[in-house]
Copies of this chain bind each other. A is one copy, B any other.
């Protein structure tokens, strides 16, 4: 691992920055991007930070037909103290390699990728918005580039990091959303690619989301593909419930993404001494908890929203309200603590935060 391996070409044409309040998620990108190429036999080469620019791909490039691609999502925060912070970035790089293995793609050099990210952040530091709730969204991804129409693993790949300033997920403060429990479509099944952060899972989810949108729901809740009974994820987030004082979340079963926010919440709850169990959670259990007045709280977790409280669930025509459609106490506390740690305003007892040199 040698940071000198990274060549730098400056962007002479600086892009104009958008005021924080006008930022739309994932539409505006910083001046530079990191790129490295992989060739079978040679390995990774040509590590470079270059002006943000279009990619050129042969029309037969493997990614366009056979979908070999993996990605990660993470954020950099700039606080009042002028320090740039990352949240558990090594976990993202590690997970990217787990995803890559499932997709028959090469392993990235985790430490070098992290070093590249730090250099890229240093170069595009001015792009990190400072305002409360804002951040710089970071998207590392790898695509298969071989010009070959054949169902086999590509012999060449490109690894890229792009970054996008994003506004506050909650423009008017954290608030609960309405969720539709999906009965027709399935996100993933054990033996498939559900545990990998790969394009196919997201492509597959759009149709259900379309229906949910139409019916006025923010996201769908995915049930297992086998029995259509057990809860898996909500939208592209992991999901937690507080039932009769106990917090439960679906156990990692081979079709659920091993979320970094999910993992952090479990660790935080244990640290606080709040009972938390990873196990199978059925919709029938949620229904009964609701009917018995024991469905205290429900929330999705992920990098984009951190915590997304659920105020209402619709399942087979029945409506289950959670905490009278208000954000629960625990959801609020988890949100404030996690975002506080991420921004450096709350002490980090776990060593999660990586501070960049000023």
Contact = CB atoms under 8 A, between A and B. Distances in A.
Interface of A: 25-27, 29, 33, 52-61, 63-69, 71, 101-104, 137, 139, 141, 143, 147-153, 160, 162, 164, 184-193, 198-207, 209-210, 225-226, 235-236
Contact of A65 (B71, B104, B188, B226): B71
B192 A192 contact: yes
A67 B172 CA distance: 32
A198 B188 CA distance: 15
Given A60-B164, A225-B225, A206 B54 contact: no
A103 B206 contact: yes
B54 A59 contact: yes
A193 B200 CA distance: 9
Given A29-B59, A64-B143, A67-B199, 5 more contacts: A54-B57, A60-B164, A65-B141, A66-B206, A200-B201
A153 B207 CA distance: 9
The 7 closest A-B CB pairs, nearest first, are A200-B200, A67-B199, A26-B149, A186-B191, A67-B203, A104-B206, A66-B202
21 contacts: A25-B150, A26-B60, A26-B149, A27-B149, A54-B56, A55-B57, A55-B64, A56-B57, A59-B160, A63-B199, A64-B69, A66-B199, A66-B206, A67-B202, A101-B207, A104-B207, A104-B209, A189-B226, A191-B225, A200-B200, A225-B225
Of A104, A141, A188, A205, chain B has the most CB atoms within 10 Å of the CB of A104
Contacts of A225: 189-192, 225-226
Contact of A139 (B52, B60, B67, B210): B60
Nearest to A183: B191
A147 B198 CA distance: 18
A185 B188 CA distance: 12
Contact of A193 (B26, B203, B235, B236): B203
A209 B152 CA distance: 8
Contact of A206 (B152, B162, B164, B185): B152
Nearest to A33: B59
Contacts of A210: 104, 153
A149 to B, nearest CB: 3
Nearest to A102: B207
A192 B186 contact: yes
B59 A26 contact: no
Contact of A200 (B29, B141, B199): B199
Given A191-B185, A206-B104, A226-B226, A69 B65 contact: yes
Of A25, A66, A143, A205, chain B has the most CB atoms within 10 Å of the CB of A66
Contacts of A151: 202, 205-206, 209, 235-236
Contacts of A104: 206-207, 209-210
